[in-house]
């Protein structure tokens, strides 16, 4: 079988690469400053805000938007909906890169990055973070395995690709299990903040809400990246596939809304819907942008059948759901009351991400884009149609 | 977390501090060796050594935890009645006073202009020779009286006084007129003793007239008051500010500043007119009751109400409650009673109030004398006769002020005016007149008149900054001092670590200087230990024994509380003071209206905070860490009416000067007052932690002296405040 | 030296004069850097309007929860709860994730924001002065408190003492001992004259905040196994179904095109 490089990416566009590299460089230098002088020297994090933008963006958002990988793997392998095969490789690649970036970001955010492996040896079984850590690391390994055939193909090592593919099923199942666990556990991570997280968000079923919303995010991400890469890599757009995905989204979102509002009703927290000032506004923003609008959009045939419509719908959903992740992990978390504290250096109760903080995330994100571009350029990511197999196909 | 300036400062000083701590490791093992032989330290030079705090004049007993020759923690000594096992924040921070990276550790000789802060290190030989030479020159040219000696109360003060008396100067300045002259002279004229001791054990009712015991802490007395409150004792606090003491009191009366006298006169009036006073006690122990009764007849609560702004019925109720609780009632005589020119009469009224309550033997007791005859002392020849007048007007202008108390601010005035004669030299020990005297501009002016200024301190304080020679004393954890008698025990200050740098005890410095001044006969002790041995000689205990326990019990039954001796002309408590009469002053307290601010002006109040002592601890990093930023308090409503909000930068102006300071808009102060924490706005850049923080109220304070007690009136300064 | 079974503090806000001796003592005893502290003042400070005023502040440090959330949250088990009360932190295990800071409902653990990799950035919090209590001394903060606003001893004794005080002086106090039940009970018990919220204390149920999280965590392994089994079954089922369907299809239409799934 001969490999035909049908992709002629416009990606070699020098300026973009240069900009991405520059952003990465800046992030690298910033990270070095952080390693030398401490997290406080480059971020606005404080004892009142131990977690900030990095966690909300790199961890919570990063993991959520990588959920396409397990969804597509499940759809194609477990449900054997083979027609979706073309979407698998890019999703797995996005997932792999997404998780890599999460880990890199954590290496900046952790006080002792050199000890990250302690999670493997010192187990505190009550810690949600431990579960997430282990799941993320294991899932990363699964993704490596899932993506390996693509790499082997790129290297013309078909034999290896075949070999891996033969044993792919257990890994797919493991990947789905791990993903289900940590996608939902990101929600569980906040369970311990029952006294700090606003009741509009805190609920024991946070993990379920996280999982359900992660599905919508994953689906939207596939739509998002497919439409975009079609545009930038001049590929054909599998619009009929995306339409099917888009059709599924309202169903999941309605489920999500039903769960969310039933929970608020049962918990007796409906009273906060309109009475919590900024919190109410944030809540409605995420519901309207992340759920209601996408339901309307994706229920509309015209939207589903146009590339622009799909992209628009996906972007709206992503914005709303990312807002949800920010709300839960940051905006709606109320740290100890800003009463009068003494000594004064105790009282930094306001947090706004500093520029270097954002630069680190931007740099890491740039690395992701660059890596995606390079992978697409040098590996048969969009090669499934011609290829008879491969990790992911 | 953005790295703010203060944060970086912390780090910087923090780093420096480590250096200083490390220094302690290189100490020669003398102190440790001695402590080891006494079993206080183990083979690794670790253990506890008893000594005494000197972070303020209360001098609590402490136990210094020493590790490998470094002091690492201070604990309150349970055996000392001033600490009872506790130390206040300043006491706890004491090791940072010793390990302050800004310590002056060698003698310094000025090389730049005065106030420029340029010094060179010098040997003790050179520095002492230079000081002695200058003092002798001045003595020769202008007479010994041209040398001013000033020092704030401390344990080696006997030898300071010895030095000045031997030198032959009458000009002795102490902190006292800035602090408690009104109270001391009032007690002297009423009871014939400086200050009675108070006990809270049985008290049910306490009136605190501006005694902020919960912030101006004296550990044992603060504890005692707290315990009394806990027991259910009622406490009435008079203070224009809602202090932390007011917060713990049953009743806070935001009295108009300067009118406490009217309040107390009205209390006396009610007690007498309603017959609530202790008739029996008054008859047997006091004199002049009738004249008192006659004189206060018109000081009714209604009269006082309009003056004090406290309702008449409140005053009446308090008078009744107070006498109802008597003798388990106390009208506290305050401590820093340097508020108004009428503060002396306020203090007299308080002394009288206690006599009327007959609370001696319940609340009040004769104080154990500091100069008890039971201790030995080095022999010495008689002092030269001093013929010159004192510059501070004692006694020729202030007949009732004891010599050793003096009128410091008037001394400073005379140094400027040159009348009755010009002073030329100033020798200062453990004192910071550049900050503590009112009207800092004038203090600097007085410095300018001096040919020579020498200072003994542990830090480059603001006065040292303007001195020609700075002599470094070993800190209180590094030196011996003469014994201190408290109750029936004499307590020892002993070094717990070896002095850092070349710090020396004051005992050593005075002796060395005395010798160079040709006064060695007056300093007949070989060294500090020898001095203590001579003190202990009559008791027949060895210094080693005292070192181990930290104190020695004094022989005798202890003070006899049953019948105090009233050392007054009538040998009774003088409700009508014959001494005052002779001095030409009001012999029973009578109302004097103190000056009040113009409508656009505010009373400027001063007052201690628990995290600093006077003007010498703001550089202590541990205290700095837990101190509030010093801002100018102003009532929220007043601030609003002036268009000011919290943290505005404002300019406060008095006739003496102006300062720039951040505003603290607070509910906790009368609308006609502003308040500033003293001790900030340092001039010395040698105080790297404290320099640049806040502003000094001494820049604003106007010099007013109470003609009777010689006390300075610190609340009698009025300021205008505007936004800048 | 009397052995204490459950080392605890009792703080009485009505007695505290906000002098901060306890804080200085803690900093010295535990050699805390000048820009850090394990113990601080919290609360509204001053409340009311001139001249009806009340001061409301408290001395804040680790509550030494009976059910420590920090301990529950820490992925690597850097915290431990001693049987006699103290919740202690072991820097040797810490990876610096700061999840404990999020987990602690009292905002107690602090982090070395100013430390790089070489110095090492760690968590710090009140240790209950184990180095002192183990040799029979009171914690440094308690030992120096001039007003005995801080007391130390056996939790049961302190609770009894606190309730006795509430009974004896009902007008003086809010009728509650904070920490008796909050968050499952704490070793720092607090009496106050103002609502506890005004001292900066969170309103917490007696159920420790970590409980829901721990229950959910308890479900993890069963869920993972179950979900794995379901997925495997599902995959197998779908596969069989498809095979059958394909076979049927092949029977019907005589093999038109090779299907993809022939390998
Ligand atoms: N922490 C700490 N403790 C100390 C000291 C220290 O520096 N720091 N210094 C020690 C020394 S030397 C002294 S003298 C004592 C001083 O002890 P105190 O005399 O208790 O203390 P101050 O704070 O000087 O003054 C007390 C109060 O007087 C109020 N006041 C001002 N004017 C008036 C007035 O006209 N009437 C009334 N009723 N009140 C007025 C002020 O608002 C202030 O709150 O503290 C000793 N203890
Ligand atoms: N504005 C304003 N002025 C005031 C007051 C106020 O409240 N406000 N209070 C008044 C009162 S009550 C008083 S008592 C006076 C106090 O006035 P001062 O006695 O002049 O002031 P202190 O700050 O006590 O000065 C003590 C000095 O001793 C130094 N020192 C500390 N330890 C040692 C040691 O071991 N050896 C030596 N040699 N030096 C040491 C310190 O560094 C400091 O410079 O101020 C009065 N003036
Ligand atoms: S009251 Fe405080 S500063 Fe003064 S001697 Fe006692 S412990 Fe030291
Ligand atoms: S107060 Fe916070 S840090 Fe302390 S034991 Fe409880 S949860 Fe842990
Ligand atoms: S910061 Fe350290 S102690 Fe806190 S949860 Fe993370 S690993 Fe555990
Ligand atoms: S118990 Fe020890 S560590 Fe905890 S606050 Fe008190 S002094 Fe600090
Ligand atoms: S030492 Fe005691 S009175 Fe002072 S702040 Fe601490 S708890 Fe309050
Ligand atoms: Mo004083």
Structure confidence by residue, pLDDT tens digits, B270-295 = 999 999 999 999 999 999 999 999 99
Residues 6+ apart with CB under 8 A from A146: A69, A73, A92, A96, A168, A171, A172, A175, A391, A392
Q: Give the integer Cα–Cα distance in Å for B329 and B203.
A: 6
What are the pLDDT digits (tens) for B653-682?
A: 999 999 999 999 999 999 999 999 999 999
Q: Determine, for residues A192 and C223 on separate chains, whether the beta-carbon distance falls below 8 Å.
A: no
Q: Give the integer Cα–Cα distance in Å for A103 and A105.
A: 5
Q: Are B137 and B424 spatial neighbours (Cβ–Cβ below 8 Å)?
A: no
Residues 6+ apart with CB under 8 A from B581: B587
Residue B21 has pLDDT above 50, yes or no: no
Closest of A156, A154, A173 to residue A89, by C-alpha:
A154
CB of B318 closer than 6 angstroms to any ligand 3 atom: no
Query: Which residues in C lie closer than 8 A to residue B95 (C-beta atoms)?
Result: 28
When pLDDT is averaged across residues B61-65 and rounded to a whole number, the result is 97
Higher pLDDT, B159 or B373: B159
Query: Which residues in A lie closer than 8 A to residue B5 (C-beta atoms)?
Result: none
Q: Determine, for residues B226 and C34 on separate chains, whether the beta-carbon distance falls below 8 Å.
A: no
Residue C260 has pLDDT above 50, yes or no: no
Q: How far is A9 from chain C (nearest CA, A)?
A: 28
Token duo for residue A265: 């009703």
Residue B107 has pLDDT above 90, yes or no: yes
Q: Determine, for residues A345 and B3 on separate chains, whether the beta-carbon distance falls below 8 Å.
A: no
A234-A237-A242-A243 Cα dihedral, nearest 10 degrees: 140
Q: What percentage of chain B exceeds 70 in pLDDT?
A: 95
Among chain B residues, CA nearest to A40: B1
Which of B26-30, B417-421, B483-487, C213-217 bottoms out in mean pLDDT, i.e. has the lowest?
Answer: B26-30
Query: Which residues in B lie closer than 8 A to residue C60 (C-beta atoms)?
Result: none
When pLDDT is averaged across residues B596-601 and rounded to a whole number, the result is 95
CA C104 from chain center: how many Å? 3
Q: Are B148 and B391 spatial neighbours (Cβ–Cβ below 8 Å)?
A: yes
Q: Determine, for residues A340 and C57 on separate chains, whether the beta-carbon distance falls below 8 Å.
A: yes
Which residue among B3, B232, B622 places its CB closest to the CB of C28? Answer: B622
Predicted local confidence at residue B558, as pLDDT: 56
C35 interfaces chain B, CB cutoff of 8 Å = yes
Give the number of the ligand closest to the Cα of residue C133.
Answer: 6
Average of per-residue pLDDT values in chain B: 93
C184 interfaces chain A, CB cutoff of 8 Å = no
Bond into B420 cis (ω within 30): yes
pLDDT band at B10 (very low <50, low <70, confident <90, very high): very low
Query: Could you read off the pLDDT tens digit of each residue along chain A, which spans 393 residues?
Result: 333 444 455 545 678 889 999 999 999 999 999 999 999 999 999 888 899 999 999 999 999 999 989 999 999 888 888 888 888 888 899 999 999 999 999 999 999 999 999 998 999 999 999 999 999 999 999 999 988 888 888 888 888 888 888 888 889 999 999 999 999 999 999 999 998 999 999 999 999 999 999 999 999 999 998 888 877 776 667 788 899 899 999 999 999 999 999 999 999 999 999 998 999 999 999 999 999 999 999 999 888 988 889 999 999 999 999 999 999 999 998 876 646 677 877 666 788 999 999 999 999 999 999 998 888 888 888 765 444 444 443
When pLDDT is averaged across residues B334-345 and rounded to a whole number, the result is 96
Which residue among A41, A43, A343 places its CB closest to the CB of B625? Answer: A343
What are the pLDDT digits (tens) for A372-381?
A: 888 888 888 8
Residue B13 has pLDDT above 70, yes or no: no
Q: Are B122 and B107 spatial neighbours (Cβ–Cβ below 8 Å)?
A: yes
Using CA positions, which residue lies closest to atom 7 of ligand 3? B91
Token duo for residue C187: 């070793």
Q: Are C1 and B71 spatial neighbours (Cβ–Cβ below 8 Å)?
A: no
Q: Give the integer Cα–Cα distance in Å for C58 and C47.
A: 14
DSSP single-letter state for residue C158? H
Q: Give the integer Cα–Cα distance in Å for A390 and B552.
A: 93
CB of C56 closer than 6 angstroms to any ligand 7 atom: no
B228 interfaces chain C, CB cutoff of 8 Å = no
Q: How far is C131 from chain A (nearest CA, A)?
A: 25
Which residue among C99, C110, C112 places its CB closest to the CB of A38? Answer: C112
Residue B633 has pLDDT above 90, yes or no: yes
Higher pLDDT, B248 or A378: B248
Which residue among B2, B6, B7 places its CB closest to the CB of A44? Answer: B2
Q: Give the integer Cα–Cα distance in Å for B185 and A110.
A: 66
Predicted local confidence at residue B53, as pLDDT: 98
When pLDDT is averaged across residues C175-204 and rounded to a whole number, the result is 96
Predicted local confidence at residue A384, as pLDDT: 53
Which residues 117-136 on chain A approach chain C with CB closer than 8 angstroms? 118-119, 122-131, 133
Spell out which residues line ligand 4, taking CB within 6 angstroms: C 62-65, 68-70, 87, 104, 106, 108-109, 125
Size of chain A in residues? 393
Bond into C51 cis (ω within 30): yes
Residues 6+ apart with CB under 8 A from A258: none
Instruction: Quickly tell me which residue has 């806000």 as its tokens.
Output: C13
Q: Determine, for residues C28 and B222 on separate chains, whether the beta-carbon distance falls below 8 Å.
A: no
Pocket of ligand 6, candidates C16, C30, C88: which has the most ligand atoms within 8 Å of its Cβ, to mutate? C30
Which residue among A38, A335, A340 places its CB closest to the CB of C115? Answer: A38
pLDDT band at B369 (very low <50, low <70, confident <90, very high): low
Its pTM stands at: 0.93
Q: Which atom of ligand 2 is nearest to the CA of B180?
A: 12
Q: Are B408 and B176 spatial neighbours (Cβ–Cβ below 8 Å)?
A: yes
Q: Determine, for residues A48 and C107 on separate chains, whether the beta-carbon distance falls below 8 Å.
A: yes
Residues 6+ apart with CB under 8 A from A360: A27, A30, A31, A34, A42, A54, A105, A108
Using CA positions, which residue lies closest to atom 3 of ligand 6? C126
Residues 6+ apart with CB under 8 A from B136: B517, B518
Mutation to test the C interface, candidates B2, B101, B626, B675, most C Cβ within 10 Å: B626
Pocket of ligand 6, candidates C10, C27, C29: which has the most ligand atoms within 8 Å of its Cβ, to mutate? C29
Q: Give the integer Cα–Cα distance in Å for B712 and B703.
A: 7
Burial class of residue C19 (count of CB atoms within 10 Å of its CB; 0-12, 13-18, 19+): buried
Predicted local confidence at residue C186, as pLDDT: 97
Cα end-to-end distance, chain A, whole Å: 15
Q: Give the integer Cα–Cα distance in Å for A73 and A393.
A: 9
When pLDDT is averaged across residues C41-68 and rounded to a whole number, the result is 95
Q: Give the integer Cα–Cα distance in Å for C168 and A17.
A: 76
CA atoms within a 13 Å half-sphere pointing along the CA-CB vector of C254: 0
Closest of B707, B700, B704, B699 to residue B716, by C-alpha:
B704
Q: How far is the CA of C102 from the centre of ligand 4 (A)?
A: 11
pLDDT band at B585 (very low <50, low <70, confident <90, very high): very high
Mutation to test the A interface, candidates C39, C69, C220, most A Cβ within 10 Å: C220
What are the pLDDT digits (tens) for A279-325?
A: 999 999 999 999 999 999 999 988 898 888 999 999 999 999 999 99
Q: How far is the CA of A335 from the centre of ligand 4 (A)?
A: 14
Which residue among B1, B7, B628 places its CB closest to the CB of A342? Answer: B628
Q: Are C111 and C37 spatial neighbours (Cβ–Cβ below 8 Å)?
A: no
Q: Determine, for residues A344 and B6 on separate chains, whether the beta-carbon distance falls below 8 Å.
A: yes
CB of B611 closer than 6 angstroms to any ligand 3 atom: no
CA B46 from chain center: how many Å? 34
Q: How far is C34 from chain B (nearest CA, A)?
A: 6
- List the alpha helices (DSSP H) in chain C: 21-29, 69-73, 99-103, 130-133, 140-144, 155-168, 210-252
When pLDDT is averaged across residues B600-610 and rounded to a whole number, the result is 97
Q: Give the integer Cα–Cα distance in Å for B562 and B566.
A: 13
Q: Which atom of ligand 1 is nearest to the CA of B245?
A: 44
pLDDT band at C248 (very low <50, low <70, confident <90, very high): confident
- ipTM summary value: 0.93
Higher pLDDT, C262 or B440: B440
A208 interfaces chain C, CB cutoff of 8 Å = no
What are the pLDDT digits (tens) for C109-155?
A: 999 999 999 999 999 999 999 999 999 999 999 999 999 999 999 99
Q: Are C147 and C16 spatial neighbours (Cβ–Cβ below 8 Å)?
A: yes
């Amino acid at each position: 079988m001969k490999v035909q490089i049908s992709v002629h990416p416009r990606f070699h566009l020098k300026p973009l690469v240069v900009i991405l590299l520059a952003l990465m460089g800046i992030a690298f230098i910033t990270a070095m400053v952080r390693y030398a002088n401490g997290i406080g020297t480059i971020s606005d994090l404080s004892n009142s805000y131990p977690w900030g933008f990095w966690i909300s963006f790199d961890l919570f958002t990063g993991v959520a938007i990588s959920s396409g990988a397990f969804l597509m793997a499940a759809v194609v392998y477990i449900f054997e909906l083979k027609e979706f095969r073309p979407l698998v490789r890019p999703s797995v690649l996005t997932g792999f890169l997404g998780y890599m970036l999460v880990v890199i970001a954590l290496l900046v955010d952790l006080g002792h990055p050199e000890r990250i492996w302690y999670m493997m040896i010192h187990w505190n079984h009550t810690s949600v973070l431990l579960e997430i850590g282990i799941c993320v690391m294991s899932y990363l390994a699964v993704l490596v395995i899932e993506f390996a055939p693509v790499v082997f193909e790129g290297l013309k090592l078909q034999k290896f690709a075949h070999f891996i593919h033969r044993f792919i099923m257990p890994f797919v199942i493991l990947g789905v299990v791990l993903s289900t666990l940590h996608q939902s556990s990101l929600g569980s991570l906040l369970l311990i903040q029952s006294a700090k997280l606003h009741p509009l968000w805190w609920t024991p079923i946070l993990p379920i809400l996280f999982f359900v919303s992660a599905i919508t995010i994953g689906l939207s991400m596939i739509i998002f990246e497919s439409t975009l890469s079609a545009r930038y890599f001049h590929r054909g757009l599998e619009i009929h596939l995306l339409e099917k995905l888009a059709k599924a989204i309202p169903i999941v979102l309605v489920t999500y809304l039903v769960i969310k509002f039933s929970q608020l009703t049962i918990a007796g927290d409906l009273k906060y819907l309109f009475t919590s000032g900024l919190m109410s506004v944030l809540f409605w923003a995420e519901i309207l942008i992340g759920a209601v609008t996408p339901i309307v959009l994706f229920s509309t045939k015209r939207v589903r059948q146009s590339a622009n419509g799909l992209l628009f719908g996906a972007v709206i959903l992503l914005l709303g759901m990312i807002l949800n992740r920010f709300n839960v992990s940051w905006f709606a978390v109320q740290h100890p009351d800003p009463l009068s504290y003494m000594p004064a250096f105790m009282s930094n109760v306001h947090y706004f991400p500093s520029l270097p903080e954002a630069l680190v995330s931007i740099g890491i994100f740039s690395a992701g884009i660059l890596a995606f571009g390079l992978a697409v350029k040098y590996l048969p990511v969009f090669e499934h149609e011609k290829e008879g197999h491969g990790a992911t196909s | 977390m953005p790295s703010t300036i203060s944060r970086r400062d912390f780090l910087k000083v923090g780093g420096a501090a480590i250096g200083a701590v490390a220094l302690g490791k290189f100490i020669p093992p003398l102190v440790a060796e001695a402590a080891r032989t006494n079993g206080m330290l183990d083979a690794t030079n670790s253990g506890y050594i008893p000594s005494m705090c000197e972070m303020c004049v209360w001098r609590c007993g402490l136990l210094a935890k020493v590790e490998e020759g470094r002091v690492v923690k201070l604990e309150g000594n349970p055996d000392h009645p001033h600490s009872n096992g506790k130390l206040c924040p300043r006491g706890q921070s004491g090791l940072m006073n010793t390990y302050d990276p800004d310590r002056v550790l060698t003698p310094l000789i000025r090389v730049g202009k005065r106030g420029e802060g340029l010094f060179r290190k010098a040997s003790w030989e050179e520095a002492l020779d230079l000081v002695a030479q200058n003092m002798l020159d001045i003595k020769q040219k202008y007479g010994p009286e041209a040398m001013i000696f000033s020092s704030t109360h401390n344990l080696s003060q006997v030898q300071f006084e010895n030095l000045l008396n031997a030198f032959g100067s009458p000009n002795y300045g102490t902190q006292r007129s800035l602090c408690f002259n009104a109270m001391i002279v009032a007690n002297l004229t009423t009871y014939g003793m400086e200050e009675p001791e108070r006990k809270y054990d049985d008290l049910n009712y306490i009136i605190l007239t501006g005694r902020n015991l919960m912030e101006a802490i004296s550990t044992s007395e603060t504890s005692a008051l707290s315990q009394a409150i806990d027991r259910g004792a009622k406490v009435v606090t008079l203070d224009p500010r809602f202090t932390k003491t007011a917060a713990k009191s049953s009743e806070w009366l935001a009295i108009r500043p300067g009118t406490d006298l009217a309040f107390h006169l009205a209390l006396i009036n009610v007690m007498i007119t309603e017959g609530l006073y202790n008739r029996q006690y008054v008859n047997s122990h006091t004199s002049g009751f009738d004249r008192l009764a006659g004189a206060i007849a018109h000081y009714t609560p209604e009269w006082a109400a309009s003056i004090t702004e406290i309702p008449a019925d409140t005053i009446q109720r308090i008078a009744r409650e107070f006498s109802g609780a008597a003798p388990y009632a106390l009208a506290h005589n305050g401590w820093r009673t340097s508020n108004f020119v009428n503060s002396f009469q306020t203090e007299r009224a308080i002394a009288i109030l206690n006599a009327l309550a007959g609370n001696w033997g319940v609340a009040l007791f004769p104080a154990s004398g500091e100069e008890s005859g039971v201790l030995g002392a080095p022999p010495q020849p008689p002092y030269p006769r001093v013929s010159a007048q004192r510059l501070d007007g004692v006694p020729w202008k202030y007949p009732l002020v004891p010599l050793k108390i003096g009128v410091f601010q008037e001394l400073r005035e005379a140094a400027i005016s040159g009348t009755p004669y010009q002073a030329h030299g100033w020798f200062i020990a453990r004192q910071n007149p550049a900050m503590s005297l009112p009207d800092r501009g004038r203090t600097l002016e007085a410095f300018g008149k001096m040919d020579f200024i020498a200072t003994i301190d542990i830090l480059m304080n603001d006065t040292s900054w303007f001195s020609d020679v700075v002599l470094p004393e070993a800190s209180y954890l590094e030196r011996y001092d003469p014994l201190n008698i408290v109750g029936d025990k004499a307590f020892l200050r002993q070094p717990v670590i070896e002095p850092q740098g070349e710090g020396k005890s004051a005992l050593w410095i005075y002796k060395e200087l005395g010798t160079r001044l040709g006064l060695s006969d007056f300093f007949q002790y070989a060294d500090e230990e020898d001095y203590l041995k001579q003190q202990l000689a009559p008791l027949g205990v060895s210094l080693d024994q005292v070192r181990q326990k930290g104190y020695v019990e004094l022989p005798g039954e202890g003070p006899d509380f049953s019948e105090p001796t009233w050392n007054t002309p009538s040998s009774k408590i003088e409700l009508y003071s014959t001494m005052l009469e002779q001095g030409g002053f009001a012999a029973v307290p009578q109302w004097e209206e103190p000056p009040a601010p113009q409508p656009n002006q505010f009373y400027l109040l001063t007052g201690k905070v628990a995290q600093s002592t006077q003007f010498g601890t703001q550089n202590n990093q541990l205290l700095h860490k837990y101190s509030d930023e010093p801002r100018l308090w102003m009532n929220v409503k007043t601030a609003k009416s002036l268009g000011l909000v919290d943290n505005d930068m404002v300019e406060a102006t008095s006739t003496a000067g102006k300062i720039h300071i951040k505003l603290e808009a607070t509910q906790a102060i009368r609308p006609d007052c502003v308040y500033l924490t003293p001790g900030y706005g340092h001039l010395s850049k040698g105080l790297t932690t404290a320099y640049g923080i806040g502003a000094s109220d001494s820049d604003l304070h106007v010099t007013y002296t109470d003609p009777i007690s010689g006390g300075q009136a610190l609340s009698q300064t009025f300021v205008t405040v505007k936004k800048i | 030296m009397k052995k204490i079974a459950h080392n605890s503090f009792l703080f009485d806000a009505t007695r505290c004069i906000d002098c901060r001796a306890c804080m200085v003592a803690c900093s010295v005893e535990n050699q805390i850097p000048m820009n850090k502290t394990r113990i601080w003042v919290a609360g509204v400070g001053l409340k009311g309007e001139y001249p009806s005023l009340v001061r409301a502040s408290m001395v804040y440090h680790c509550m030494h929860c009976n059910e420590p959330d920090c301990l529950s949250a820490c992925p690597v088990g850097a915290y431990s709860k001693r049987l006699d009360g103290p919740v202690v932190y072991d820097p040797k295990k810490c990876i610096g994730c700061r999840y404990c800071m999020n987990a602690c409902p009292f905002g107690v653990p602090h982090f070395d924001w100013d430390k790089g990799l070489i110095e090492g950035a760690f968590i710090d919090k009140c240790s209950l002065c184990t180095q002192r209590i183990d040799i029979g001394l009171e914690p440094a903060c308690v030992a120096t408190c001039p007003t005995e606003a801080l007391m130390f001893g056996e939790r049961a004794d302190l609770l009894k003492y606190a309730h006795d005080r509430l009974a004896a002086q009902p007008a003086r106090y809010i009728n509650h001992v904070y920490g008796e039940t909050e968050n499952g009970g704490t070793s720092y018990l607090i009496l106050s004259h103002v609502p506890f919220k005004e001292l900066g204390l969170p309103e917490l149920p007696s159920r420790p905040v970590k409980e829901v999280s721990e229950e959910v965590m308890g479900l993890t392994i069963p869920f993972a196994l179950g979900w794995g089994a379901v997925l495997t079954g599902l995959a197998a089922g779908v596969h069989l179904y498809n095979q059958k369907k394909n076979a049927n299809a092949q029977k019907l239409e005589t093999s038109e095109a090779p299907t993809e799934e022939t390998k």
